[in-house]
Structure 1
Amino acid sequence: MSKRVTLFDPPQLNDSKAPIENVLELTPVDDIGPDVFTNTRPLWHPPGARGIYGGAAIAQCLAAAMRTVPADFAVHSMHCYFVLAGDSEIPILYHVERVRDGRSFITRTVQARQQGRPIFTTTLSFSKANSGGRKQVQHASSMPPVPLPTVPSPGQKRFDENRGGPFESAKAGIVNRDSNPEEKKVRRWVRCRGRISDAQHAHLSALAYITDSFFVGTVARVHDIPRFSSAAELKMALKALKNPSDLENEDIVRSLNELKEEETAELQRRLEGALSKLKEKNKEDHKEIGMMVSLDHSIYFHNPWTFRADEWMLTEMESPWAGEGRGLVLQKIWAKDGTLIATCTQEGVVRLKQDEPPRAKI
């Protein structure tokens, strides 16, 4: 008997919804409990990753929690821990716990489980709209003056050469490219494809999904280390793919094109110029990523009522520290009108390939 990827047979994709809404759709599991949900559709396993795309677990936990709070409350923070790699061939159950219901704030915890084991856990806090009073302390980081992506002419390739996947992106440059790693800032425009429904919870879930993209990988980027050091290594990662999502072909194309966009120039430099120099260098100067996986992820939603995830948003990522086999990344996200809508942090394992196998295990 074949393994069931979702608890229930997935319905047909709803063409009236944006792709991200289909990807993040949840199904209640009333037989288990009133606050238990499952993924309606298979989840994406990116090439080279140990498990499902983390943004899906983040976004679906948020979507599950939002179903248990009144409509006049919006999430203002969520703090997440990646416990185990999610298996795309096994259904996920999202268990929501109603920790506290106050007049101004509501607290929820959500645990994502596969075969009874927790793979992801998060605590979320919701605040009531307009509960801050007329007099408030206010300030926000200003959006840097970065021009919006140019709309492609008919027949031209799209921004990220991606014809599928729930969101698209366009590079917006690297600040302090020739400086030390901790001084660099990587910028990128992102937006969901199609038109998301007007319900704000759909835009919040979509934003949560996007926040995990390119995140801990910033550590490798500011050190100019490619994620895949050869075409053969990338091919091996693709062969290791388990069950892709409903958007199988498009998502794989998206991954390949993102990798090509991010790493081709660096890989070409290594192959054409650096290989001759590497013969003269000590082996310790040559760095390759051995493992890169997220440990925790936090999102602070600053203006949850005032943005659309299907419009361009500017992200800026920087890494203030890396060491002890880990790296920390900070991310700011602005709406296209300059409103700061979220600040995120993520720490992950970033280990280089060693001459000797590492002793420590996660």
Structure 2
Amino acid sequence: MAKRVTIFDPQPPDHSKAIIENVLDLTPVVDLGPDVFTNTRPLWHPPGARGIYGGAAIAQSLAAAMRTVPADFAVHSMHCYFVLAGDSEIPILYHVERVRDGRSFGTRTVQARQRGRPIFTTTLSFSRVGSGGDKTVEHAVPIPDVALPEEAEPGTLRALSNAGGGPFESRKAGILNRNSPNPEDKKVRRFIRARGHISDEGGYQAHLSALAYITDSYFIGTISRVHDIPRFSSPAELEKLLKALKNPSDLDDEDITRALKELKEEETSELRRRLEGALNKATNGHKEKDHKAVGMMVSLDHSIYFHNPWAFRADEWMLTEMESPWAGEGRGLALQKIWSKDGLLIATCTQEGVVRLKQEKPPLSKI
């Protein structure tokens, strides 16, 4: 008997909605309770990851919690822990607990479970619109002066290559202080947006879920990028990991291939830079004493502070800037700021993860 990756047979994609709305769609499981939901469609397991893409658990937990609060309440903070690697071949059940309902704030917890065990847990706080009063204290970090990506002309080869079916797209926007010897000085920038047009039916909740989904992309990888350490030791390793995928989900295969091609190009570029650096050192009589390669990189926790939940569209270009103030003891911390197309700071995120290098001696402990 074939395995079921969803509890219910998924309905055909709704083409009146954006791809990301279909990817994150939830189905109530009324037999288990009024606040229990499950993934409608299969989930993606990225190459090299220990489990499903963490952004899916973050976004679907948020979507489930938003179904249990009044329409005039919006999420302002979300604190998540990745407990176990999610299996893309098993359905997820999202259990929402209504912790508190106040006049200005509400609290929810969501536990994502597989085989009865929690794989992900989050606590979310919601606030009522306008509850801060007419007079408020306001300030925000301004958006960096980075030009928006150029849109491809319809019908051109570039437009056709960008017209995939994946849930979101991204463009590199450079690395500030790229040549600094201090990793903590570097800031990695990208433009991101949900692909297609998020429906009016989805409302602001769909934009928030899409943003939550995207925040996990490239995030913990900031640690290796500011240290100029390739995530994969070679393009061949990436190909091997791609072939080992158990269930690439119902995301468009062509889009996944395109994203992985970009990743491979990035990794190849980093390898080339390292080789050139090693050759330069050798030419000058120096030896590379400490070659570094990533052995394990996995997220432990993830927090999102939503600053302006009604004031952005996730299907328009957003600028994200990531940096790392600290790494050590086999872990690393990354910070992320996200601005809307109009320059409004819409979210600040933090993520800590395991970042272990390949060792000559085995580590003292395993996860």
Aligned to 1:347: 352
Q: Which string of whole-angstrom CA distances, capped at 9 and with x for unpartnered residues, describes residues 207-259 of structure 1? A: 00000000000000000111111122112211221111111513531431231
Q: Per-residue CA shift, 1:17-65, capped at 9, x if unaligned?
A: 1000000000000001110000000000001111000000000000000
Query: Structure 1 residue 360: deviation in Å?
Result: 0.9
Structure 1 residue 297 corresponds to structure 2 residue 302: yes
Q: Is the 8 A contact 1:303 1:341 kept in 2?
A: yes
Q: Report if aligned partners of 1:318, 1:329 keep a CA contact under 8 Å in 2.
A: yes
Q: 1:30 to 1:239 in 2, by over 3 A?
A: same
1:308 pairs with one of 295, 303, 313: 313
Is the 1:159–1:169 Cα contact (8 Å) retained in structure 2? no
Identity %: 77
Does residue 1:53 correspond to 2:53, yes or no?
Answer: yes
Quote the offset at 1:156 in angstroms. Answer: 3.9
Contact 2:308 2:347 in 1 (8 A): yes
Equivalences for 1:110-129 in 2 at 5 Å? Answer: 110-129=110-129
Q: How does 1:31-50 map to 2 (within 5 A)?
A: 31-50=31-50
Structure 2 residue 178 is the aligned partner of structure 1 residue 177: yes
Question: TM-score normalized by structure 2?
Answer: 0.94
**Contact 1:160–1:169 (Cα < 8 Å) also in 2:** no
Q: What displacement does 1:14 show?
A: 1.0
State the distance in 2 between where 1:248 and 1:86 align.
21
1:257 aligns with 2:258: no
Stretches of 4+ aligned residues off by more than 6 angstroms: 278-283
Deviation of 1:272 after TM superposition, in Å, equals 6.0
Contact 1:46 1:255 in 2 (8 A): no
1:270 Cα shift? 3.8
**Alpha-carbon distance in structure 2 between the residues aligned to 1:96 and 1:298:** 18
Distance in 1 (CA, whole Å) between partners of 2:282 and 2:330 is: 24
Q: Identify if the C-alpha distance between structure 1 residues 86 and 251 changes in structure 2 by more than 3 Å, giving closer, same or farther.
A: farther
Question: What is the CA RMSD across the aligned residues, in angstroms?
Answer: 1.9
Partner of 2:228: 224
Matched residue, 1:14 = 14
**2:158 is paired with a residue of what secondary structure?**
coil
User: In the aligned structure 1, how far is the partner of 2:289 from the partner of 2:75?
Assistant: 46
Alpha carbons of 1:159 and 1:261: their partners in 2 closer, same or farther (altered >3 Å)? farther
Taking structure 1 as reference, are residues 50 and 264 closer, same or farther at Cα in structure 2, changes over 3 Å only? same
Please list the CA deviations of residues 113-170 of structure 1 after superposition, one character each: whole Å capped at 9, or x if unmatched: 0000000000000000011001111111100111100112342425995733111111
Report deviation, 1:260. 2.5
Q: Distance in 2 between matches of 1:135 and 1:297?
A: 31
Distance (Å, rounded) in 1 between the aligned partners of 2:217 and 2:276:
29
- Say if 2:215 is the partner of 1:214: no
